[in-house]
Amino acid sequence: ALITLRQLLDHAAEHGYGVPAFNVNNMEQIHAIMQAAAATRSPVILQASAGARSYAGEPFLRHLVLAAVEQYPDIPICLHQDHGTTPGVCMRSIQSGFTSVMMDGSLREDGKTPSDYDYNVRVTRTVVDMAHACGVSVEGELGCLGSLETGKAGEEDGIGAEGTLDHSMLLTDPNEAADFVQKTQVDALAIAIGTSHGAYKFTQKPTGKVLRIDRVKEIHARIPNVHLVMHGSSSVPEDWLAIINTYGGDMGTTYGVPVEEIVEGIKHGVRKVNIDTDLRMAATGAIRKFLAENKKEFDPRKFLKEATKAMSGICKARYEAFGCAGMA
Ligand code: G3H
Ligand code: 13P
Ligand code: NA
Ligand code: ZN
């Protein structure tokens, strides 16, 4: 059944686990997530960006998710809109049947320029008023996502600030977070603690701690009833990176967020963990390898099946690591 983010994360908080929120654009991604969730008995967050809606088309996206709900009646599913840049985008998703929306007011409407605090409060509060009247949950964001190593927000074609960010913007302030939540009444809050979008998060292999989990603890202590969200939480799997680079790809050397650090965040109030890049890489690696090894094949089902299997493997590993398994 479709449930709200609030319902789903209240259960996660009560039982001390975190839920991966995977980005979806097509049938194979949804198949992969649902197969892993069914195998592990995990609750599901399917999140779609504005880019997903324009890629698939609103009716296709909606019906793909409804198909998942129909095929897996026992698995709770939240349909969440990722990174809404305006209240209008959020309204369109509410109209489309989403049970949760993110109003990302940390950036201006262009999705690139950091906004000021009052703007963020204003647009987020507007969305909360509309969404809560419709029984829909809201995620806000405070602080600017960006790597503490590079100062970069990452992902040139996606959502993220351009250029190099001032270090002070890269960490959410606990007192400001408390004020923001009180003024906006969001259900969940995305915080900046050193993660960034995309595959190029860190240039060096993480040895110690790359995230500021101490900051998660401070924020959680100030606003214990707000579910914390970590964006940019792909781990950039080394095995898939190697496969991509072996079979004709050229992604270079790069590192993501170690799963153990996410698990540490979950111990201190992180309930939603956004992952897109890892599934993109698993799909690309699996398809490159299959086609390189099967040069006579031209049935797309053959390589798409490999992609689905690869993505599902990542989903299953995250459900297990984040304590989701057995919770649905
Ligand atoms: O935060 C961005 C997500 O990875 C979605 O990316 O806008 O290319 O769909 P997208
Ligand atoms: P990754 O690029 O690390 O997968 O992050 C995805 C994300 O935060 C979507 O909102
Ligand atoms: Na989101
Ligand atoms: Zn994000």
Centre of ligand 3 to C-alpha 80, Å, is: 7
Centre of ligand 1 to C-alpha 51, Å, is: 7
Tell whether the model's pLDDT for residue 157 goes beyond 70. no
pLDDT, averaged across the chain:
96
Quick: pLDDT tens for 274-320: 999 999 999 999 999 999 999 999 999 999 999 999 999 999 999 99
> How much is the average pLDDT of 105-123?
95
Quick: pLDDT tens for 42-98: 999 999 999 999 999 999 999 999 999 999 999 999 999 999 999 999 999 999 999
pLDDT at 211: 93
Our answer on whether the CB atom of 274 is closer than 6 Å to any ligand 2 atom is yes
Centre of ligand 2 to C-alpha 277, Å, is: 6
Asked if 272 and 45 touch (Cβ cutoff 8 Å), the reply is yes
- Phi/psi for 54 (5° steps) reads -80, -25
Tell me which of 276, 284, 315, 318 to substitute to probe ligand 2's pocket, judged by most ligand atoms within 8 Å of the beta carbon.
276
pLDDT at 151: 85
Ramachandran class of 102: left when φ > 0, alpha when ψ lies in -120 to 50, beta otherwise = beta
Q: Where does residue 91 rank: exposed (0-12), middle (13-18), buried (19+ CB within 10 A)?
A: middle
- Phi/psi for 232 (5° steps) reads 55, 40
Tell whether the model's pLDDT for residue 174 goes beyond 90. yes
| Residue nearest ligand 2's atom 1 by CA | 232
What residues act catalytically?
82
User: How many other β-carbons are positioned within 10 Å of the β-carbon of residue 95?
Assistant: 10
Tell whether the model's pLDDT for residue 16 goes beyond 70. yes
CATH 3.40.190.10 matches 5-321 = no
pLDDT at 164: 83
Q: ipTM for the complex?
A: 0.97
pLDDT at 158: 65
- Model confidence at 116, pLDDT cuts 50, 70, 90, reads very high
169 versus 306: the higher-pLDDT residue is: 306
Is 277 among the annotated ligand-binding positions? yes
> How much is the average pLDDT of 26-30?
98
Tell whether the model's pLDDT for residue 260 goes beyond 80. yes
Q: Which of 1-5, 110-114, 173-177 has the lowest mean pLDDT?
A: 110-114
Query: Using CA of residue 156, residue 162, residue 166, residue 170, what is the dihedral sign?
Result: negative
